[in-house]
Structure 1
Amino acid sequence: MLAVIRYSVPESQSQDFIKQAHVILDTLAGEPGFQRGRLARSVDEPNLWALVSEWEGAGFYRRALSAARMAMYPLMILMVNEPSAFEDVYVSGQEE
């Protein structure tokens, strides 16, 4: 499953945001079911960022969020309030 948490980050806070996002991804990476993660910035709206992670399943992701909540807390005010968990329906390039 894919998890996408978007953030709206003022330019003046972007360097601190990047550092904290690294801490979040490192924390998530230590959790069971984590497959990979990345931090991305919109090419069209530079204040819009996405913390993207892939998981073996939704249960792993939800438990990892609980474990990472202290690392995530400083950035919560910057989060875009929207659903973040997406279940794969089709993945190109993989055998079914």
Structure 2
Amino acid sequence: MLAFIRYTVPEARSGEFVASATAILERFAAQDGYRGGQLGRSADEPHLWALVSTWDGAGFYRRALSAARMEMYPLMTLMLNEPSAFEVVVSSP
């Protein structure tokens, strides 16, 4: 399963945001079912960021969100309110 959490981050907060997002990825990495993650910034709109992770299933992802809530809390005002969990339908090597 794929997880995309998108954020709108003012340039002045980008350094702080990267540090916090790194802490979230580190917390995720310690959770069961975690396969990997990345932090990306839009090439076209630099205020848009995405925290992307892959999981063995939605249950693992949801438990990890709970485990990472303290790391995630400071960034919640920057999050876009949209679904974040996606089932993989087609995969390519």
TM-score normalised to the size of structure 1?
0.96
Provide the C-alpha distance between the structure 2 equivalents of 1:18 and 1:67, rounded to a whole number of angstroms: 19
Q: Which runs of 4+ in 1 moved over 3 A?
A: none
Identity of aligned residues (%): 65
Deviations 1:43-94 (A, max 9, x none): 010000000000000000001000101110000000000000000000012x
Given the alignment of the two structures, is residue 15 of structure 1 paired with residue 15 of structure 2, yes or no? yes
Alignment of 1:1-96 (within 5 A): 1-93=1-93
Gaps of 5+ in 1: none
Provide the C-alpha distance between the structure 1 equivalents of 2:21 and 2:64, rounded to a whole number of angstroms: 15
What is the DSSP-based 3-state SS (H/G/I as helix, E as strand, rest coil) of the residue aligned with 2:66? helix
Deviations 1:12-59 (A, max 9, x none): 000000000000000011000000000000001000000000000000
Provide the C-alpha distance between the structure 2 equivalents of 1:59 and 1:18, rounded to a whole number of angstroms: 26
Q: Cα RMSD between the aligned structures?
A: 0.4
What is the DSSP-based 3-state SS (H/G/I as helix, E as strand, rest coil) of the residue aligned with 1:32? coil
Report which of the two structures shows the higher radius of gyration computed on alpha carbons: 1
What is the DSSP-based 3-state SS (H/G/I as helix, E as strand, rest coil) of the residue aligned with 2:37? strand
